[in-house]
Structure formats: structure tokens, C-alpha cells
Amino acid sequence: MDDLVKRLEAMLAKGQNNTLLRFSLGKAYVEQEQYDIAVPHLQAALELDGQYSVAWKWLGKALQGQGDLAGARQAWQSGIEAAQSRGDQQVIKELQVFLKRLDRASPL
């Protein structure tokens, strides 16, 4: 566990719980390929703000890492909807690419 994750976990342990903290923890765990730890943090971030499109992106990556391709697809589709409601074109483009790659890798 790196220093950033330790600091974020310490903040959470002290009772801080907000979208950015949960998202940051989830993203850090995905980057360390600790998907089982990442998923609950990203889900918690989305419970706090379901329109946080970047959290949907990373939740999809975590679920894909766990082998849950249907879950990843659903997360990325939800992320596109959230990004459309916020006008975040960059996230929409990224998530569309992830969905296309998923389709090529394992057509449903």
C-alpha cells in the first residue's frame, strides 16, 4: 500500500466520507489491481453522487478487472448517461471506446 492510499484510508477511518475521497481510494486500488477493494469504494462514491461520470469509468475498469464484463458494460453505460447529463464529452468518448473494446473482446 503506497503512502497516498495510507493517507486516504486514514482520512476515511477518522470519519471523513465524501465522493472525492471514495473515488480517490477506488481509483488508487484499481491502479494497484486490487479490484475487490476498489469496487466498494467506487460504489460508495456513486451512492454519494450518481452523476460522477469518472467514478463510473473507474468502476467499470474495476469490474472488468474482476472479470465481471456485464457489470463493466453497465457501469460504462451509466457513466455515459451521467456524462451526457453534465455535457462531459471527453468522458463520453472514453467510455464509448471502452464499450467498443469490450464488444470486440467478448461480443454479447
Q: Domains in the chain, start-ordered, CATH in brackets?
A: 3-105 (1.25.40.10)
Element (H, E) at 32: none
Is the pLDDT at 108 greater than 60? The verdict is no
pLDDT of residue 35: 98
Please tell me the distance from the alpha carbon of residue 56 to that of residue 97, in angstroms, as a whole number: 14
Q: Could you give the count of Cα atoms lying within 13 Å of 74 in the half-sphere of its Cβ?
A: 6
Q: What is the pLDDT of residue 106?
A: 72
Written as nine digits, the cell of 1 is 500500500
Whether the per-residue pLDDT at 19 is higher than 80: the answer is yes
Mean pLDDT of all residues in 32-43? 97
Q: Which residue, chain included where needed, has cell 453534465?
A: 86
Q: Is 88 helix (H, G, I), strand (E, B) or coil?
A: coil
Q: Is pLDDT of 1 > 80?
A: no
Q: Quick: pLDDT tens for 41-95.
A: 999 999 999 999 999 999 999 999 999 999 999 999 999 999 999 999 999 999 9
